A and B are shown apart, each in its own frame.
Chain A
Amino acid sequence: MATRQAEGWNSRIGLVLAVAGGAVGLGNFLRFPAEAAQNGGGAFLVPYLISFVLMGIPLLWVEWAIGRHGGTRGYHALPGILDVLGPKRWLKYAGVFGLFIPLAVAAFYCYIESWALAYAWHSAIGTFESVPATEFFPRYLGIDGATTLAHPGQALIFFLITLALNVAILSRGVAGGIERAAKIGLPLLLIFGVVLAVRGLTLPLDAPGVVASPLVGLDFIWRPDLSGLANPTTWLAAAGQVFFTLSVGVGSIACYASYVGRDEDIALNAASAGWMNEVVEVVLGSSIMIPIGVAYLGLGAVEQATSGGDGFALGFLTLPTLFENWGAWAPVAGLMWFGLLFLAGITSSLSMGQPVMAFFEEELDIGRNGSSLLFGGVTLVLGLLCVFFFPGGAFDEFNFWAGTFCLVAFGLIEAVAFAYVFGIDQGWEELTRGADIRVPRIFRFLIQWVTPPFILLVFVAAIIKPEAGDWQAAVSVLTSGGGWPLAADSVLGKVLHVGVEGGWFDAAGNATPRFVQDLTRLLLTSVFAVLSFLVWRSWRRKAARGEIPGGPRGGIGSGVSDGAGEGGGA
């Protein structure tokens, strides 16, 4: 219900920490250093920071502005928040992305989060003293390498614990749950990060097991390869990382901002949360995993471990064993590293829960406890697919479609809706009202004319990304009549199953990865369809009840037409 009494944040710093905590995630420590190292080193930072300014910061401001605007009209879930932006029927259905993405991402994200929790536990009890992490990992996940189905034991238990923890915190509400968790979690994460970075970067060459200076690892990430700047793949990777790290295009930022008062600042809050995330990513993210990895394994092994552009192998398979070189400090180091990853994960997964719960509360009229349980239940069902079909690639499908592709698609929709449906004049007024900083006027131009085409470019490039990311070679192949060589990890490549051979079952009748991929896609599509139906039904009921979606409450309004949405004025 649009008029349902909403909650609010207890303190400004709590809000900023919650949003920053939502942005600071596993990607800051595992994905960023690997992406940077693989895409031009220090030169990666040039497109990265340009993408941050042209796309990241504008999108942050867009999400905060549309969120606060929706909140002042009684909406905290994205269908309603987008619906009150203007008199277009499609807006509320576009808002389904803001339910689908958090729900689907929470499912696979909680699973990784549970690994971090399990690894922290096993580090503390000394498991890695006797069992190498490379042996522990497949055993923990219950995979034998032969089938698409896992037989998890511990992994399932830790997943359930993690999910229960998320539900328990979410059920305590915005201020009592999410804000309190962020106030504890983010400072603790920063302390763990600084301790590990200082220890990692000062590892002496004569320490047991050290084969190279950790500064060689830092050099690996920061040495600029300027040729990368001319490669569209570097730009695509940089823009993708900005999207991924800021959690824009998810819906959680708009949801958090919807609990901010009409005349309170959003410009400074958004910028401070965004830049706080950059400190964690650029400074701490580059100072821990790769320098420590290089110090103990040498540069070649680390280059190989990060060649796929993510640091999961290094973070989960290698680091626990390397910490054993730290003697009595090994359990503490493991606890800090995986504790850090867990805290980064849980502050992010909590931000996934609130938009979905807000929808359950507003549109399905379910109470907070019921909403948190329903969110937990749906996340559990989706997450079990990731848990049991991990070897078949269900996890990767969730990550690609919900955690990568949909983020960019929804970010594009938000940018266009803000600049062209809500209108840049009204949007700029919304963004700057009550601002505690002067927002440079250039951003008005950027939000209207640069950010949407920039995201569109990233979106199209992701759809048709060529094999090996080699655009020049792809154009040559195309002009010579050989067709466009799609990359297997491009959107079209995924849709067309490029590089995946065979059918759903092998000769022995066992399910193949292709079966798991298609099953996962069917499930994800079904979830999207169900959420769209719920939105349609909810707005139909509003129309039948004669409610005016988006009508101002308590004298607070922003001048947007009350006739927004198909139920408007009915």
Chain B
Amino acid sequence: MSAGAWLMLGITWPVVLGISGYLVWKVLTNPDAPSDPDR
């Protein structure tokens, strides 16, 4: 792999995995059912 490819992959994958992981963790730690109880 070229240095440029490693660089792009090395930046993009951690960013995408990091943000996604953080958001999923937030969802899992707030697992309230989203349905409207009035329905």
**Which residue on B lies nearest to A262, using beta carbons?**
B36
Given A13-B28, A41-B5, A224-B8, does the pair A283, B33 have CB atoms closer than 8 Å?
no
Task: Quote the shortest CB–CB distance from B3 to chain A (angstroms).
Answer: 9
Q: Is there an interface contact between B20 and A45, defined as CB atoms closer than 8 Å? A: no
**Which residue on A lies nearest to B10, using beta carbons?**
A222
Task: Quote the shortest CB–CB distance from B20 to chain A (angstroms).
Answer: 4
Q: Is there an interface contact between A264 and B36, defined as CB atoms closer than 8 Å? A: yes
Question: With an 8 A cutoff between CB atoms, is A15 at the interface?
Answer: yes
Task: Quote the shortest CB–CB distance from B28 to chain A (angstroms).
Answer: 7
Q: Is there an interface contact between A282 and B12, defined as CB atoms closer than 8 Å? A: yes
Question: With an 8 A cutoff between CB atoms, is A365 at the interface?
Answer: no
Residues of B within 8 A of A260 (CB): 34-36
A12 contacts which of B5, B19, B34, B36 (Cβ < 8 Å)? B34
**Which residue on B lies nearest to A260, using beta carbons?**
B34
CA separation between A42 and B6, bound complex, in Å?
9
Question: With an 8 A cutoff between CB atoms, is A351 at the interface?
Answer: no
CA separation between A42 and B26, bound complex, in Å?
30
Question: With an 8 A cutoff between CB atoms, is A72 at the interface?
Answer: yes
* Interface bracket on A: 35 or more
**Which residue on A lies nearest to B19, using beta carbons?**
A275
Residues of A within 8 A of B35 (CB): 8-10, 259-261, 264
Residues of A within 8 A of B7 (CB): 42, 224
What is the total number of residues of chain B having a CB less than 8 Å from a CB of chain A? Answer: 29
Q: Is there an interface contact between A219 and B32, defined as CB atoms closer than 8 Å? A: no
A269 contacts which of B4, B34, B38 (Cβ < 8 Å)? B34
Given A42-B9, A437-B26, does the pair A282, B16 have CB atoms closer than 8 Å?
yes
Which label, helix, strand, loop or mixed, suits the secondary structure of the A interface?
A: helix
Given A269-B27, A271-B23, A272-B27, does the pair A261, B4 have CB atoms closer than 8 Å?
no
Given A42-B5, A264-B32, A279-B17, does the pair A554, B27 have CB atoms closer than 8 Å?
no
Residues of B within 8 A of A378 (CB): none
B5 contacts which of A218, A279, A436 (Cβ < 8 Å)? A218
CA separation between A72 and B39, bound complex, in Å?
9
CA separation between A436 and B27, bound complex, in Å?
9
A282 contacts which of B4, B13, B31 (Cβ < 8 Å)? B13
Which residues of A in the span 217-242 have a Cβ within 8 Å of any Cβ on B? 218-219, 221-224
Question: With an 8 A cutoff between CB atoms, is A278 at the interface?
Answer: yes
Residues of A within 8 A of B38 (CB): 261, 553-554, 556
Question: With an 8 A cutoff between CB atoms, is A11 at the interface?
Answer: yes
Q: Is there an interface contact between A45 and B27, defined as CB atoms closer than 8 Å? A: no
B8 contacts which of A6, A222, A554 (Cβ < 8 Å)? A222
11 contacts between A and B (CB under 8 A): A7-B39, A8-B34, A8-B35, A12-B27, A12-B31, A49-B12, A223-B5, A224-B5, A275-B20, A276-B23, A553-B38
